[in-house]
Homo-oligomer: A and B are copies of this chain.
């Protein structure tokens, strides 16, 4: 219960911080509406939570990590808007609501994504007063690296190239490490950097996030088969319909369940050096492993 409360408190803090980014919005009202529509559409806020909670675990000031938490959520959101575009995955629904381009049109959806990606760096670089500049540079560089062609965008590019073709487990793992793992890792690592954590702490945190990220994706593939459409807010069975190679097609449901547990154990083990300060993040890894949405 205590952890669930910490989760809700963190999520509420993130919601308020994200909302405050839309304070002085005019005169480009339409683009801000489109940005806000997707950014404030809910979601679990896992990435910014990782930033805040890793910062806390590493002895840092959570308030100082908040601009970086917002930044990573903005990048996650922009990637969803662009992934949903007709020329990409062509999705009509996201979290139970029409996708951005369904409401605002394709051109504005492209621009809203571009603006959110840019706003991520603006937020991280402009609102980080109190954080030593070298940490700001290191954290923002970590985010940029993870979000780009060697990270998330590279993963999305590989994903499109792989569609409808037979691929191995190794291929799928490599792809997911880039497509979802890189940004999750950066989210966690930034929290450590802001707190002033050293090389060993950064490596432990990265290992935790990498294992958690892969477990998250395997669970995602499972939910596309066994999930409840209303809880998920999106139709299930889309991977099969798209003839996508997923962890489920490669390992079966039982194999996936086992893999999620193994990865979650490894995530938890990675935080051993932090002792009791890692309790919340260990609980979070287990909660995500059993999530239904």
Contact = CB atoms under 8 A, between A and B. Distances in A.
Interface of A: 27-28, 30-32, 35, 78-79, 82, 85, 87-88, 105-108, 110-111, 113-115, 117-119, 121-122, 125-126, 128, 132-134, 136-137, 140-141, 144-145, 147-150, 153-154, 156-158, 160-161
- A interface SS class: helix
Contacts of A117: 114, 117-118
A119 B148 contact: yes
- Copies of this chain per assembly: 2
A132 B106 CA distance: 41
Contacts of A149: 28, 31-32, 35, 115, 118-119
B110 A87 contact: yes
A113 B153 CA distance: 10
B122 A31 contact: no
Contact of A140 (B27, B108, B125): B125
The 3 closest A-B pairs by CB, nearest first: A133-B133, A87-B106, A118-B148
Contact of A158 (B28, B110, B113, B136): B28
Nearest to A22: B149
A241 to B, nearest CB: 19
A39 B114 CA distance: 18
